[in-house]
Structure 1
């Protein structure tokens, strides 16, 4: 290998590490057991594979509705099966966490009420939503295993900002 090649590869790796660090890739999630608050999501249900174009379109539509302020709130989702599993199939509700259940909903959107008052394992991380969920889920599952907690297959995630993610999973009673 030539010296130029090694230098070029070192620069590429340094840029990659810098981008990962900028996105919060080295942030450590905080995991706690707490009581959930009720949430209202305006969104659309999705059942299919994660590779389905409609899956990505649902996320893009929610982001567009939030960005254009057609719906005020935070990007949020509910998964009815583990989104981090090896399975390609997903059942989800993708949309925006809103405060006003009387808000006018865009065509194709409906409301989902997530009840509060449940014991949940909650993870939070200061990281971009592109890397945050992966860090959160692994931390949640590790914590639940260490504490010998059984979790339900109901995952609520929302993003208070582009650089913060929250996931809550109810503890089986």
Structure 2
């Protein structure tokens, strides 16, 4: 019985170490700021968040970066909240690029996210698997505390391997 207890305790410690390693205990930094213009090269998606096609677009964006077709970082635009729309999402999935003059890979188009808007900006140092959940919760909590109404327009990007950023415009 003692052996089982020691094994379970060891397993729990390993889980805690892993959870800490991927940023599970890291809290996002949230601020109210003014957005800067951004350029996102990618492909549109509309459908279920469970749809395999959406996963394929994320994989394609990773390939574009790995193969040097574009310079930038993974980034996405979401035009609705799937939690409010029954698992249906409208998105633009791709790569945030430095400027609008880049030559785009086949099938990619460019969308410009305008700057100069008041946004709730959140950053977290956590794995890509953990970042979105932490970022969205932090932004929604901040907006509720500050009594801000947010637009249904979400821009997220991942500047480093274990860093995520989210901006959501404040309704004017």
Same fold (TM > 0.5):
yes
| Secondary structure in structure 2 of the residue aligned to 1:78 | strand
Q: What are the Cα deviations for residues 14-51 of structure 1, in whole angstroms up to 9, with x where unaligned?
A: 22221111111111111100000000000000001111
Q: Given the alignment of the two structures, is residue 142 of structure 1 paired with residue 146 of structure 2, yes or no?
A: no
- TM-score under structure 2 length normalisation: 0.95
> 1:103 offset after TM fit, Å?
1.7
In structure 1, the residue matched to 2:11 is 12
CA contact (8 A) 1:84 1:137 kept: no
Q: What are the Cα deviations for residues 113-158 of structure 1, in whole angstroms up to 9, with x where unaligned?
A: 1000000000011111110111111011000000000000000000
Change in Cα spacing, 1:69 to 1:25, as seen in structure 2 (3 Å) is: same
Q: What are the Cα deviations for residues 82-128 of structure 1, in whole angstroms up to 9, with x where unaligned?
A: 25558311110000000132222112111011000000000011111
| Secondary structure in structure 2 of the residue aligned to 1:18 | helix
Q: Given the alignment of the two structures, is residue 39 of structure 1 paired with residue 38 of structure 2, yes or no?
A: yes
Distance, in Å, in 1 between the alignment partners of 2:83 and 2:165 is 15
CA contact (8 A) 1:34 1:120 kept: yes
- Divergent runs of 4+, >6 A: none
Distance, in Å, in 2 between the alignment partners of 1:171 and 1:21 is 32
Q: Given the alignment of the two structures, is residue 91 of structure 1 paired with residue 90 of structure 2, yes or no?
A: yes
CA contact (8 A) 1:23 1:128 kept: yes
Task: Name structure 1 gaps, 5 residues minimum.
Answer: none
- TM-score under structure 1 length normalisation: 0.94
In structure 1, the residue matched to 2:52 is 53
Distance, in Å, in 1 between the alignment partners of 2:99 and 2:169 is 24
Task: Name structure 2 gaps, 5 residues minimum.
Answer: none
| Secondary structure in structure 2 of the residue aligned to 1:141 | helix
Equivalence map 1:111-122=2 (5 Å):
111-122=110-121
Change in Cα spacing, 1:85 to 1:161, as seen in structure 2 (3 Å) is: farther
In structure 2, the residue matched to 1:171 is 170
Distance, in Å, in 2 between the alignment partners of 1:57 and 1:10 is 39
Distance, in Å, in 2 between the alignment partners of 1:90 and 1:71 is 25
The RMSD of aligned alpha carbons is: 1.4
In structure 2, the residue matched to 1:28 is 27
